[in-house]
Amino acid sequence: MKLPQEIIAAKRDGAVLDAADIRQIVAGLTNGATSEGQAAAFAMAVFFRDMNADERVALTLAMRDSGTVLNWDDLPGPALDKHSTGGVGDTVSLPLAAAVAACGGYVPMISGRGLGHTGGTLDKLDAVPGYVTQPDIGLFRKVVREAGCAIIGQTEDLAPADKRLYAIRDVTATVETIPLLTSSILSKKLAAGLHGLVMDVKFGSGAFLPDFKKAQALADALVSVANGAGLPTTALLTDMSEPLASAAGNALEVAYALDHLTGRRREPRFHEVTVALAAEMLLLGKLADTIDEARAKIEGAFASGAAAERFANMVAALGGPADLLDKPAKHLTAAPIVKAVYPQAPGIVQAVHTRGVGLAVVALGGGRTRPQDPIDHAVGLVELAGLGEHVGPERPLGIVHARDEAGFEMAEARLRQAYTLDEAEVSRGPLIAERIMESSGR
């Protein structure tokens, strides 16, 4: 066995690490043999020297094996999941999991909380009274088998080395290096015991990686490493240059997802991304032979109400109200102040600083800047204007749901700053810019 500093020095000097060396560093993250300083030095060495394909796979597998690895081989169908790199108004996971379950897939979705300008799936579900986001493994398995899907939070024993390394990366400016990003995302998904994974990698003004080329590089790496580690994976590059849904905020996004599931309201952009990602999951799970067949099955699950039924079953099985879909207003908390924000002069939306929209929700109390921050589930924004829309006295930029007048005024100012208006007509780029499969290559 080598000293940790020998391994760090080798990577610092540009060497390719073998799998045993990588496993030693990762094991040390869990058992304490790798110090905080050594972990930080290792992360910085990787940041500057990168890792080749074999190193990335070895790092991801070592992180996976640092804790419990689930197994779903006893299910009558494939265990499938979707992961998004985050954005604003991205509540796709809620209707998607239910639709895939209605088509014969099983979705054991282990999700995270929001940080910065992005909303977390778990925070949204915390807005549902009674819903248990941290069930024991027995209940998790039971709900997945019976409802077909369960959306819960990461348990302490899934990829614990990632949790420690992420905290170190967060304070050493090494979060955004692709090998470490890739292993962090995929180690948890591999530990979940999946048979197929679809990655939704965002680009644009509301994305974690706004630059398209950087997002594309991350998507390539995720697909390559996941497949190299034995998890069939496809990625879609999707546009986050404006909020995906017209709602942002926890209870408000749950209500939006319920409207989508029941058919009360289905916005085209949100629906397109949801169907595209869900269809890719069916393909990976061999529940459809072609992408057209897969899309038709997902559309059918929404149209027939089967997806809504699966979602209702999941919510009830995890302690939530049985009538949530029919009576959301009865259960979801509402903010006391609801007021529209109009532009100072009318015009056509030329650009949306989507990160700024997300930060408006954070300023209202609906997001967090530190993991321990509390969340106000009632606040947020609805009826957000999209690119190319004409806004003015008849059409606001959005409607603010606030706890008090001071919160409204802060969100009002941020919302106005986030929108660029002019009189020119605007054409959107493609919502789904690229599909990346194992054989795509560059």
Q: Tell me the CATH number at 375.
A: 3.90.1170.30
Question: Starting at the edge strand that comes first in sequence, how are the strands of the sheet with 80-84 ordered?
Answer: 80-84, 196-203, 233-239, 432-436
pLDDT band at residue 422 under the 50/70/90 scheme:
very high
184 catalytic per annotation: yes
Kindly state whether residue 391 falls inside one of the protein's structural domains. yes
Please check whether residues 337 and 315 belong to one and the same domain.
Answer: no
Q: How far is CA 136 from the centre of its chain?
A: 22
Tell me, yes or no, whether 438 lies in a domain.
no
The side-by-side arrangement of strands in the sheet containing 398-402 is 337-341, 398-402, 380-382
Report whether pLDDT(288) > 90.
yes
387 and 239 Cβ atoms separated by less than 8 Å: no
CA torsion sign, 142 to 145 to 148 to 151?
Answer: positive
Given the residues 169, 202, 297, 310, select the one marked as catalytic. Answer: 169
Exactly one of 60, 174, 184, 354 is catalytic; name it. Answer: 184
- Using the 3D structure, point to which of 311, 327, 343 is the last residue of a domain: 327
Domain check: are 219 and 250 in the same one? Answer: yes
Q: Tell me, what's the pLDDT at 157? A: 85
Provide the pLDDT confidence category of residue 116 given band limits of 50, 70 and 90.
Answer: low
Greater pLDDT, 169 or 200:
200
CATH label of the domain that carries residue 201: 3.40.1030.10
Give every CB contact of residue 136 below 8 A, 6+ residues apart in sequence.
Answer: none
Taking the C-alpha atoms of residue 211 and residue 110, their distance in angstroms, rounded to an integer, is 27
Q: Give the pLDDT mean for 246-251.
A: 96
Same domain, residue pair 245 and 109? yes
Could you say which of 302, 327, 352 is where a domain stops? 327
The answer to whether 183 touches 43, Cβ cutoff 8 Å, is no
Q: Is 85 in contact with 79 (CB distance < 8 Å)?
A: no
Q: At what angle do helices 306-317 and 137-147 cross, to 10 degrees?
A: 160
DSSP, collapsed to helix, strand or coil, labels residue 40 as: helix
In a domain, 317, yes or no: yes
Q: Is residue 169 flagged as an active site residue?
A: yes
The verdict on 242 and 272 lying in the same domain is yes
pLDDT at residue 441 in the model: 52
Burial-class residue 439 by CB neighbours within 10 Å (0-12, 13-18, 19+).
exposed
Domain boundary among 304, 327, 350: 327
**CB–CB of 85/208 below 8 Å?**
yes
Classify residue 54: in a domain, yes or no.
Answer: no
- Structure tokens, 257: 């997802």
DSSP code per residue over 331-368: HS---SEEEEE--SS-EEEEEE-HHHHHHHHHHHTSS-
Segment among 105-114, 141-150, 178-187, 305-314 with least mean pLDDT: 105-114
Q: What is the Cα–Cα distance from 110 to 88, expressed in whole angstroms? A: 19
Q: State the Cα angle at 175 between 3 and 253, rounded to 5°.
A: 140
Q: Considering the domain boundaries, does residue 62 fall inside one?
A: no
Cβ–Cβ under 8 Å, residues 351 and 420: yes
Encoded amino acid at 79, one letter: A
Residue 74 within any structural domain of the chain: no
- What's the pLDDT at 440? 54
At residue 285, the pLDDT reads 98
117 is catalytic: no
Domain assignment of residue 72, yes or no? no
pLDDT tens-digit readout, 229-243: 999 999 999 999 999
Quick one: 249 and 391 in the same domain? no
Phi-psi region at 196: left, alpha or beta (left = phi > 0; alpha = psi -120 to 50): beta
Q: How far is CA 429 from the centre of its chain?
A: 22
Active-site option among 23, 124, 188, 355: 188
What is the DSSP secondary structure assignment for residue 342, as one 8-state letter?
-
Backbone angles phi, psi at 208, to 5 degrees: -60, -40
On whether both 348 and 206 belong to a single domain, the answer is no
The per-residue pLDDT for 115 is: 64
Q: How many CB atoms lie within 10 A of CB 159?
A: 32
Residue 33 has a pLDDT of: 94
**Residues 337 and 317 grouped into a single domain:** no
d(CA 159, CA 187): 6
The number of distinct structural domains making up the chain is 3
Give percent of the chain with pLDDT exceeding 70: 98
Same domain flag for 337 and 320:
no
Same domain, 90 and 178: yes
- Among this protein's residues, is 82 annotated catalytic? yes
CA gyration radius, the chain: 22
Residue among 30, 91, 111, 121 flagged as catalytic = 121
Q: CA 152 to CA 162: how far, in whole Å?
A: 18
pLDDT at 368 over 90: no
Say whether 286 sits in a helix, a strand or coil: coil
Q: Say if 70 falls within a structural domain.
A: no
Asked whether residue 256 falls in the same domain as residue 235, the answer is yes
Regarding whether 320 and 354 lie in a shared domain, the answer is no
Please state the rounded mean pLDDT for residues 75-93.
95
* 121 noted as active-site residue: yes
Catalytic residue (choose from 23, 56, 83, 401): 83
Alpha-carbon distance 80 to 23, whole Å?
27
Residue type, 181: L
What span, in angstroms and rounded, lies between the C-alpha atoms of 273 and 164? 33
Which contiguous run of DSSP H or E holds residue 412? helix 405-418
Q: What is the mean pLDDT of residues 265-287?
A: 98
Lowest mean pLDDT among 75-79, 170-174, 428-432: 170-174
Rounded mean pLDDT, 134-163: 92
Would you state the pLDDT for residue 154? 78
The catalytically annotated residue of 34, 66, 84, 177 is 84
List 64, 189, 269, 331, catalytic entry: 189
The length of the chain, given as a count of residues:
442
pLDDT for the residue numbered 192? 93
Determine the structural domain holding residue 150 and report its residue range: 80-327
Do 255 and 349 have their domain in common? Answer: no
The label of the residue with tokens 């059409």 reads 395
Q: Is the pLDDT of residue 97 over 80?
A: yes
Buried b (16+ CB within 10 A) or exposed e, 197-208: bbbbbbbbbbbb
Quote the mean pLDDT of the chain.
94
CB count within 10 Å of CB 13 equals: 9
Residue with more model confidence, 66 or 373: 66
170 touches 180 (CB < 8 A): no
CA pair distance 11, 44, nearest whole angstrom: 10
Taking residue 15's Cβ as centre, other Cβ atoms within 10 Å add up to 13
Which of the following is catalytic: 82, 164, 195, 269? 82
Contact 347, 353 (CB under 8 A): no
